[in-house]
Amino acid sequence: MTAFMKFRKNEDEFWRSIERKRKQSEEAIDELEGLDDLKENPFHSLIEYIYTRVRGLPADIPVVPPRISNNHAEMFERARQILLDDNTPEKKSFLLSKDVLVLASGIIDTVSDANHNLSLNAEIQKYSLLPSFSVVEEYVKELMDAMHRALCPGDDRNPLATPDLSKLKMWIWGQLAALDKTPQDFREMTENILLVVNHLCSCLETGELAPPVTEHTVVSLWAFVLNRLMGRKSIRVIPGELASAASKDARINAEKNYGSTTKSVGGRKVDLSLRLATDYHWNMEIAVFELKTENTSKKICIRQLKKSIRLNTAVLCSLQKNGLDTTTNFPVIAEGHGFVLNFYTLRRYDDVHGAGKTSKDFAWLPRDVLALKTWLSSSSLHLLLAFVSHNAKFAGNVRDSQLRTVTKSPSSTLPPSVLFTPSKSNRQVHDSKAVSNFDCDIDSDLDLYDDSGAVAQDKKRKIHITISS
């Protein structure tokens, strides 16, 4: 039997054992999914109000229900106040803030500018900061210093020395050729770092990072850098506007419980999907990352962040149902604005999920030769390595959790389901045989609905086009 056949046999046995465990825990999984029932969701009346208003029907903003936890009561009241402020009696249209959707999903967001002054804010901010993101690896620093010297020979004597990309590339190629002389413990990491810098040099030589830059350029460059730094691991960042399966499940659950607002439900599209290889396919999403070009306004970036937090919470809830302990195992999420990456930690705190900044610093990529000189002396690469290392460990824990039997947790300690924006489809055309909907997000944190339940044609907020045949 060849080595490859043995590998395939072991892989088959591994996934068969997972299937057996899943069948053994089927009843427990059903019990966990049953927690999505209306009686278990502390925000049930709030979500019911939202869906009623989206359909163009009158409804009163609900009060905080009794017998819910203090955390949920605080979040409910804050969401209620936002709805009251945005929907005064004189306004004919229904305004739905993204902050309300985040709160109604059982998420406390301490990353964006929204400051809700909730009791858990300080705790979430404290435990979101990860010490590993402030560590500077001495070996990596020495490698970066060597590349800095190769880029600018004699720079120590002349700070104004002109960087020379060709000399840096020749030095990198020489190091790659002599990679077998590198200590075994650092060989793979050294190769990955050298290949990343070599790729950046090629991009700078061709000028493809010079403005204006398309979103495709931003996404493809970050995908290459992250995948290269991950090395030959069983996780991969996959670009291409893939639909998130977890978000589709969450939307189907909401449509089932609160009434249909659309003819078909699909998953939200994401820029980068972090996936784990299972059964010879990259089909298990464990996190998603969103990117915007550098000329995107701050308002749209905040809106995107609120979407990203809900998307990743939906993914985390899905992993939790399959046995992952999300209080101790959690991802670090990257949020990109051009060639800058900010990081936030998303984890469970008892009966809510909390998002907080992972580090006070951010990672970035150079766009010209002078910026490369600065980048080689910065902490950016150290942050990227910490980000890759953390999520690689997280992926390993996700893989291990697939073999464990799922046990039922008390309903009072599980966060509620994630809520996404209800469909903006005009209800009058749902009975047509073929309907195509195209949503174009414009600079706004609010979704605006008129009295009929359709999206108001306000170009400053949202454009909705419905084509029927």
Average pLDDT of each block of 10 consecutive residues along the chain (469 residues)?
55 62 48 48 92 90 93 95 87 87 95 80 95 94 94 73 90 94 90 97 94 93 96 86 83 80 76 87 90 91 93 93 88 96 95 95 95 94 97 92 59 70 52 35 59 52 35
Domain-located, residue 322: yes
Domain-located, residue 38: no
Domain-located, residue 57: no
> What pLDDT, on a 0 to 100 scale, did the predictor assign at position 136?
93
**Region for residue 207 given its phi and psi (left: phi exceeds 0; alpha: psi -120 to 50; beta: otherwise):** left
Identify the domain containing residue 267 by its residue range: 131-413
> What pLDDT, on a 0 to 100 scale, did the predictor assign at position 389?
95
Residue type, 148: H
> How distant, in Å, are the alpha carbons of 215, 219, 268, 294, 440 from that of 212?
10, 14, 27, 9, 21
Domain-located, residue 232: yes
> What pLDDT, on a 0 to 100 scale, did the predictor assign at position 231?
86
Number of domains composing the chain: 1
Domain-located, residue 431: no
- Decide: pTM greater than 0.75: yes
Give yes or no for a contact between 328 and 349, defined as CB atoms under 8 angstroms apart.
Answer: no
Domain-located, residue 261: yes
Domain-located, residue 400: yes
> What pLDDT, on a 0 to 100 scale, did the predictor assign at position 251?
82
Domain-located, residue 302: yes
